[in-house]
Every structure is written in C-alpha cells, then in structure tokens.
A and B are shown apart, each in its own frame.
Chain A
Amino acid sequence: GAVVSQHPSWVICKSGTSVKIECRSLDFQATTMFWYRQFPKQSLMLMATSNEGSKATYEQGVEKDKFLINHASLTLSTLTVTSAHPEDSSFYICSASLRRVSDTQYFGPGTRLTVL
C-alpha cells in the first residue's frame, strides 16, 4: 500500500516553456500533498504544501507564480513550472499523506527536469 506515482519521470524542455508534473496517490486518498526539490548531494527542500480543494501554502522564497500547484482531487496534485529557466533544472519529488492517520509522507519516484 501507500504507492505514489509521478509523471513524467524525466523531461527536457527549452527555456521559456512550461512543464507540468503530475503526482498521484494510487491506493489511498491523500488529504495533503507536498512538493519538494532536491539539488545534487543536498537534502530535500520543501517547496509547498497543498490540501485538496484549497490553495497551496508556499515556503519562503518559493515563487508561487512560477511554481503553480493544483490539487484538484484527493489523488492528484500537479506542479507546473512556468517559463522555465536553466536554473529550474532539478529533481522534483512529491509526497502524499493521510494526515488523519499520521504525518507519514509517502514519496513518488521523482521527476528529473532539465531546462536547456
């Protein structure tokens, strides 16, 4: 149980384009989904927290107009990187939790974004 998928697993795009990453909880309904970014040899950096049907809460320093998050259902959240630049190249990971049970987060496999 507690499987989270991400799509795509990797994407290469040109500067200025937008990229959408999907995160799905496959076998449970996630009350909360989280989006992280990981730089090489660094820890996970939380970007934003999203609850189904409400606006995402962004961490300090994360541009909400650049990283659009939509959490339309209890099993799907999307992250759209708008007007991507090479410095947005990173490993993006989502997680999902069923907060009524515990704070345990179950992570997706991650998406490698490369902006040329």
Chain B
Amino acid sequence: DQQVKQNSPSLSVQEGRISILNCDYTNSMFDYFLWYKKYPAEGPTFLISISSIKDKNEDGRFTVFLNKSAKHLSLHIVPSQPGDSAVYFCAASADSGGSNHKLTFGKGTLLTVNP
C-alpha cells in the first residue's frame, strides 16, 4: 500500500514557464511534508518543506501548497530553468509515537525543462 503517491512519472516544461509537481497521500497521520530533488547517481537534495499547520510555504522560486482536506500537496517552480531538470521526490512523516519520524517517499517525477 503506497501511502505517498506521485502519479505523474514525468513532466516536460518550457524554460521560463511554471512547473507543477503533484503528490497525494493517504495517511492522515502525516503532518510534515518535504520535496527533494535528485540527480542520477547522487543523493537527494532537500528543497522545501511544509508543516500541516500551514497551507503554503515559499522559498525563492519554489512554493509548496498543502491541501489537507484533499490530502494533496504540490510543488510550484517559477520560472523553470534547465538546471531544474531532475527527479523530484515528495516525502511525508508523522510525528506520532512509534513512527520513528521516518520519511515515506513517493516514486518520484522526472522533470525536464526544455531550453
């Protein structure tokens, strides 16, 4: 049972336009969400996170939106740049007893930004 789902395996966007990466989750105990960027043969790089008490968090070109009622979050990248081309992973954790604060990852979305 996949608790964090990224239903789009890939996304292609033109340079300068907005990239929107989506993520859905099923576990209502999740209360902290993160986005990571990963290049091949490298470890993931932390991008941005959001706590469940917020619905939006912004950091430069990256904005994460959280819709708790829909159990959905999205990452917006504006403007998109060719260097943003990578696999983006959505992750979630639950601050509940026994969870050990593990991150549950989605399967990732490959973003390609075309010049």
Contact = CB atoms under 8 A, between A and B. Distances in A.
A73 interface: no
What range describes how many residues of A lie at the interface? 20 to 34
Chain B contact residues, majority secondary structure: loop
B41 interface: yes
A50 to B, nearest CB: 10
A9 to B, nearest CB: 9
A57 interface: yes
A44 B44 contact: yes
Interface in A1-27: 2, 4, 6
Chain A contact residues, majority secondary structure: strand
A43 B89 CA distance: 8
A57 B98 CA distance: 11
A104 B34 contact: yes
B95 interface: yes
The 9 closest A-B pairs by CB, nearest first: A107-B43, A103-B93, A43-B107, A103-B101, A107-B44, A110-B43, A109-B43, A93-B43, A43-B105
Interface of B: 32, 34, 36, 41-46, 49, 89, 93, 95, 100-103, 105-108
